[in-house]
Structure 1
Amino acid sequence: MTSIELTHVTVDIPIFDAGSRSLKNNVMAAATGGQIKPRDGTRKVSIRAIDDLTLDLQHGTKIGLIGHNGAGKSTILRTIAGIYEPNEGRVDVDGSVAAMFDIGFGMDPDSTGWENIILRGMLIGFSRKEIEARAADIGEWSGLGEFLDMPLRTYSSGMSTRLAFAVSTSITPDILLIDEGIGAGDAAFIDKAKARLEEFIGNAGLLVMASHSDDLLRQWCTEGLWMEHGKVRFHGPIDETLDRYSASRTA
């Protein structure tokens, strides 16, 4: 059954070539909420982004990650996705994962839209045969028309996001990871994208979402995890978690 288990997970993010810059260290510590620690007298330091986190998420969970910038939300998502390896602890993920962050990763500016559909599709786990079978539907849904025959470098940023979004939401994952809002171009397309994203989320067995939007979190999540300085402050129903977090900022 679909599940995510993090057991005493600690993640340090290394910062290179900054050991002697005390001003930068102070600014980074304030901005991230982590601790910047010298290592063995070298010019390498690190931020404690996640500090001894234990979390058990089972099929059906839809959890929102809440907290200030640098609280550890994005690091949790990237650790679950396998982008970051924990320095300590264990991460066990059972089920296919779709990560809706850095959705343009792997796109080639010199390749056409059609070629990028194949590239991006293979990157997120399709075989070439599978993504080729879906390419026409993906291209049609993107609304890019003849631009699909042109190199990606000729696209506006909104057009590139449309294409990446169309490919990324063409799968049905067991586990869906979302980091913040996803811009998708003009107002008409944003409405279309929201409808597709709602369907995408509804089909996922397990959702982990980081956002600063209370409305989105209340709409799509049933649980909340409030993070602060890499540690859990509260884990409970989404409404209670948001209320506690809001009260802490006005206290």
Structure 2
Amino acid sequence: MVLELQDVAIRYMTGDFKEIGLKEYVIRKLKHNYTVHEFWAVDGVSFSLEAGEMLGIIGTNGAGKSTLLKVISGIMEPTKGTVKREGTIAALLELGSGFDPDLTVRENTYLRGAMLGYTKKFMDDTYDQIVDFAELREFQDRRFKQLSSGMKSRLAFSIASLVSPDILILDEVLSVGDGAFRKKSEAKMREIIHGGATTILVSHSLDQVREMCSKVLWLHKGKQIDFGETQPICDRYQDYLDGKFRI
């Protein structure tokens, strides 16, 4: 088992401390007039994946998909439940993060590589491969802030996909860029999966999930609605989107 989640839940605490300031906070606390609200972004998620499986996570906005990815990748600790991981993890969660807008594409490539734990020699050996896959050869000396969002996403994807991780986590990454780059990204994903990596993909494209994923996790308002084979769950989810039933 490469990845196993047991009854994972993530709670956020919300209140009005930032809005009212320290002085008012102390006064309200003394008067017992300060309230904090609990919000469970994910509540009771359990599933497991074997090596080489690709999981698609589906659900409408606010379902808890991105929060769950942060727990799986180790960025956040669950409030309840357990997460067991085997091997190395590469995560593309926020494509714009980890880059300096005032540095060039070349400089940011090395910066991002260092943040992911790649050695200078590894980056020297693979830099040409990275920039060519991202289709940014002619932009390599341009400042990062001058790139389009699609260009930034292509570079982030290209860097992360080189590491050959045991677990690869992608949050809407394959939806960026033009059709040709999406096909190239999907082909790269298949190459990584065939190499034995376990991949998790969050996507709003049901067609993409149907075509690429061997299993699907459906979340709704933090709750796990279903987990299992791709086609029947995607069919149910499409029926839900079409208004044929309510949860």
TM range, smaller chain: 0.7 to 0.9
Partner in structure 1 of residue 235 of structure 2 = 243
Are 2:99 and 1:100 aligned? no
Partner in structure 2 of residue 11 of structure 1 = 10
Partner in structure 2 of residue 152 of structure 1 = 144
Are 2:144 and 1:137 aligned? no
Are 2:46 and 1:54 aligned? yes
Partner in structure 1 of residue 225 of structure 2 = 233
TM-score normalised over the length of structure 2: 0.81
Give 1:191 deviation, angstroms: 4.0
What SS class does the counterpart of residue 133 from structure 1 fall into? helix
Q: Deviations over 1:116-171 (max 9, x none)?
A: 11111122231232222211221233232342123212323333223222212222
Within 5 A, what are the aligned runs for 1:190-201? 190-201=182-193
**Matched AA of 1:178:** L
C-alpha contact 1:61 1:206 (8 A) present in aligned 2: yes
Are 2:168 and 1:163 aligned? no
Partner in structure 2 of residue 221 of structure 1 = 213
What SS class does the counterpart of residue 160 from structure 1 fall into? helix
Within 5 A, what are the aligned runs for 1:115-130? 115-130=107-122
C-alpha contact 1:158 1:183 (8 A) present in aligned 2: no
Residue segments in structure 1 that go unaligned for 5+ positions in a row: 21-39
What SS class does the counterpart of residue 242 from structure 1 fall into? helix
What SS class does the counterpart of residue 167 from structure 1 fall into? helix
CA distance in 2, matches of 1:191, 1:60: 20
CA distance in 1, matches of 2:182, 2:48: 33
CA distance in 2, matches of 1:210, 1:162: 17
Partner in structure 2 of residue 113 of structure 1 = 105
CA distance in 1, matches of 2:177, 2:235: 32
What SS class does the counterpart of residue 250 from structure 1 fall into? coil
CA distance in 2, matches of 1:243, 1:208: 20
C-alpha contact 2:4 2:48 (8 A) present in aligned 1: yes
- Structure 1 vs Structure 2 CA RMSD: 2.6
Partner in structure 1 of residue 24 of structure 2 = none
Residue segments in structure 2 that go unaligned for 5+ positions in a row: 20-31
Partner in structure 2 of residue 35 of structure 1 = none
CA distance in 2, matches of 1:201, 1:246: 26
C-alpha contact 2:42 2:222 (8 A) present in aligned 1: yes
Q: 1:187 to 1:52 in 2, by over 3 A?
A: closer
Identity of aligned residues (%): 36
Return 209-218 or 143-152, whichever deviates more. Answer: 143-152
C-alpha contact 1:13 1:48 (8 A) present in aligned 2: yes
CA distance in 2, matches of 1:50, 1:198: 29
**Matched AA of 1:12:** R
**Matched AA of 1:10:** A
What SS class does the counterpart of residue 235 from structure 1 fall into? strand
CA distance in 2, matches of 1:41, 1:216: 50
CA distance in 2, matches of 1:213, 1:4: 24
C-alpha contact 1:5 1:57 (8 A) present in aligned 2: yes
C-alpha contact 2:101 2:143 (8 A) present in aligned 1: yes
